[in-house]
Amino acid sequence: MAGLPKYAFFEGKIVPFSEANVSIATHALHYGTGAFGGLRGYWNADKEELYIFRPIDHFTRLLGSSKMLRMDLPYTPAQLVDILTELLRTENMREDCYIRPLIYKATPTIGVRLHNLDDQLAIFALPFGQYLEKEEGLHVTISSWRRIDDNAIPARGKITGAYINSALIVSDAKAAGFDDALVLNEDGHIAEAAAANFFIVRDGVAITPPITANILEGITRRTVIQLLREELGVEVVERNIDRTELYICDEAFSCGTGYQVAAVTRVDYRNIGTGVMGPLTSRLRDLYFDVVRGRKPKYASWLVPVYHPVREAAR
């Protein structure tokens, strides 16, 4: 990390980041028995406000992942939002940032299992700009790896151990000179990008794989579906996507908290559409940035302000 955070929420309280440390015998470190989230905070300079984007949805998904891991954490999503806003105020975060909550099997022990282990929550935040260098036009490949299957490791949970799958996909794609990769599920349909959900546009219809296609149930995906339908009047269909549809579709984009809305303009040396960001992707991107920075009052309920709390109304 470029600069370390000053504070973290760790073992039930906010402490200096340097004191938030775990033992090398921690269960999660050995067996991948953790789950995490990734949220963004967007700084609005006019309003001198930091907006956390859809934290209730992110924490609801995190607690869902914790259930898959047989964890019983003593927090509601709303309580986690309160902890997070207090942390961000303590950190005095006044710029765009990335927020990382992590839940993990904390017991220092040997033995692969999910039961009879202590569960802990940690959260920290750090300044963050663009995650991808080329949000305006990614050249992707189709990964030779397959997406993890729900009957092996739940893809709809954000399980730490499962991210070996994404790490293999990213590093092999980068080593081969691509910006990112799309990964097929065991059925041979496109699941998603390494750490983002995926859409194509054909004849004015936006198409994205269903949540039963071994994808993460992305908060950005949900946001984009609503914005396409409500604001841009675009039909959205959730169905399987074949890889050759990429060669004939008009536009494609990946979306996620980190990626935001990133145009995918080439796949395996073939242009997608005309090989530059398509008009619908471009309009959606502009709209997305307006929404996350608090410039669209209609969607204010998705934002939790850190410094001028009207949080009850936001829920």
Tokens 């850190």: give the residue. Answer: 306
Short-list 176, 219, 221, CA closest to 198? 221
Q: How far is the CB of 195 from ligand PMP (least distance, A)?
A: 4
Q: How far is the CB of 40 from ligand PMP (least distance, A)?
A: 9
Q: Given the complex with ligand PMP, which of 28 and 195 has the nearer CB atom?
A: 195
List C-alpha distances in Å: 246 to 96, 176, 190, 201. Answer: 33, 20, 10, 9
Alpha helices in 5-103 (DSSP H): 27-31, 55-68, 77-91
Q: Given the complex with ligand PMP, which of 141 and 257 has the nearer CB atom?
A: 257
Q: Given the complex with ligand PMP, which of 140 and 216 has the nearer CB atom?
A: 216
Q: How far is the CB of 80 from ligand PMP (least distance, A)?
A: 15
Give catalytic residue positions: 158
Contact (CB, 8 A) for 20 and 124:
yes
Q: Given the complex with ligand PMP, which of 7 and 42 has the nearer CB atom?
A: 42
* Measured distance CA(42)–CA(83) in Å, rounded: 18
SS3 at position 177: coil
Q: Which residues would be at the binding site for ligand PMP (CB under 6 A)?
A: 38, 166, 192, 195-197, 216, 218-221, 256-257
Which residues have C-beta within 8 Å of that of residue 216, sequence separation ≥ 6?
A: 155, 156, 158, 192, 197
Q: How far is the CB of 281 from ligand PMP (least distance, A)?
A: 16
